[in-house]
Structure 1
Amino acid sequence: MKRLRFFVQPFVPPIEAPQFYINGDLMKIVNQFKYLGSTLTPICSLDMEIQTRINLASAAFGRLRTRVFLNNDHKNGTKTAVYLAVCISTLVYASETWTPCRRHIEMLENVHTRCLKRIFGISWEDRVTHEELYRRSNTTIEAMLAKRHLRWLGHVIRMPDHRLPRQILYERLSHGNSSAGGQKRDIRTTLKLF
């Protein structure tokens, strides 16, 4: 017969959430909200943000599909330029501070590949590799993300020491302990990957 073991935690009173009022109205506490076009969550997960970006870029592509991308009067170079200016800029909006995992980059690359195939009129029967598609469009999502991260990093490094973004970039854990298990990815780790 197995012995059951119990662990009794000491009673800790629940911490009340702070209450903020604006013009006499109480602000609600929410799990996510949009700020400057980005979806922010308490756990800083990119899943919802990536899905929102994919939906917005797909909608932009759909609105331009018949007039631009499927129009045979336009050259492929023109179609690609419009795609990069409208759809890709929507897809990677505010990506400078993202800390994407491999699965996030793959999700973005899948959308990019699907759109490029429609622009160039390529079906699965044509057996065109993804590398060939990227060569024709002259870009990959991973390369764009790396370029945006490095450009943002250059801005932060040139900031004076008293600016908050620079302090956060160079900060270390001054007191307390790291949480057990794998640490959440931060911007420094992401930049090392590129």
Structure 2
Amino acid sequence: MTISTQKTKCMTTLKTPLRCKLEVDGNIIQQKMKFKYLGIELSGCGDVEEEVRAQTVRATRVAVCLSDTVWRNKNIKVKTKARIYKAVVRPTMTYTAETRPDTARTRQLLETTEMRVLRRIAGKTLFDREKSENIRRTCGVENINEWVLGRKREWNDHISRMDEERMVRIARDRSPLGRRSLGRPRKQ
């Protein structure tokens, strides 16, 4: 197998940017701080909030496209609209949610976007002062963060069933070799 040095890129994963020189057959591999891979923008510093925000924007765009034809249609039942939401909008919002870390901000972004769509489905506005739980119960949709947590458990069980030689299982189960030095880690 030959490696194309023009197409290959490298990235370091540290909190602070670090330049490294990677060379293959005398050609230097270009280093990127972030790049798109399988539709997701990977960041070297591990910041997921920006990607979750981009996903919620994409999901909102999809929901807005469905607004006039589906959400406002009085002839379609609320349960049917909720099924369309689960099949179209939710997967756009939660792509790769099984493997990324959750923060309070990312959970809030997901829940806010979900409730914006569910209110549209139920025909309610914020001025109606209807609780989110009541709207979820009307639509028959569980909280998106609980749903993501369930997907994470399923993914973890899936990895547990894999052979012990698989790279994904090795990366999850093993810890780095060696010992950390005492004290606070150095800045450089």
TM-score by structure 2 length? 0.80
- Aligned partner of 2:22 in structure 1 is 18
Give the deviation of 1:177 after TM superposition: 1.8
Give the deviation of 1:20 after TM superposition: 5.4
Cα distance in 1 between the residues matched to 2:99 and 2:144:
15
Matched, 1:148 2:155: no
| SS of structure 2 residue aligned to 1:28 | strand
1:157 corresponds, among 133, 153, 160, to 160
Q: 1:53 to 1:16 in 2, by over 3 A?
A: closer
Displaced runs of 4 or more, over 6 A: none
Residue identity in the other structure for 2:50:
M
Cα distance in 2 between the residues matched to 1:167 and 1:16:
26
- Provide, for residues 24-51 of structure 1, a one-character-per-residue CA deviation record: whole Å limited to 9, x for no partner: x965322111111211111221112101
| SS of structure 1 residue aligned to 2:22 | coil
TM-score by structure 1 length? 0.77
Query: What is the percent sequence identity of the aligned residues?
Result: 25
Q: RMSD of aligned C-alpha atoms?
A: 2.3
Structure 2's unaligned 5+ residue stretches are 1-17
More strand by share: 2
Considering Cα pairs closer than 8 Å and 6+ residues apart, tell me whether 1 or 2 has the greater RCO: 1
| SS of structure 2 residue aligned to 1:90 | helix
Q: What are the equivalent positions in structure 2 for 1:73-92 lying under 5 Å apart?
A: 73-92=75-94
Q: What are the equivalent positions in structure 2 for 1:9-158 lying under 5 Å apart?
A: 16-19=20-23, 28-137=30-139, 138-158=141-161
| SS of structure 2 residue aligned to 1:108 | helix
Cα distance in 2 between the residues matched to 1:28 and 1:65:
43
Give the deviation of 1:136 after TM superposition: 2.2
Matched, 1:168 2:171: yes
Q: 1:20 to 1:87 in 2, by over 3 A?
A: farther
| SS of structure 1 residue aligned to 2:98 | helix
Give the deviation of 1:93 after TM superposition: 0.9
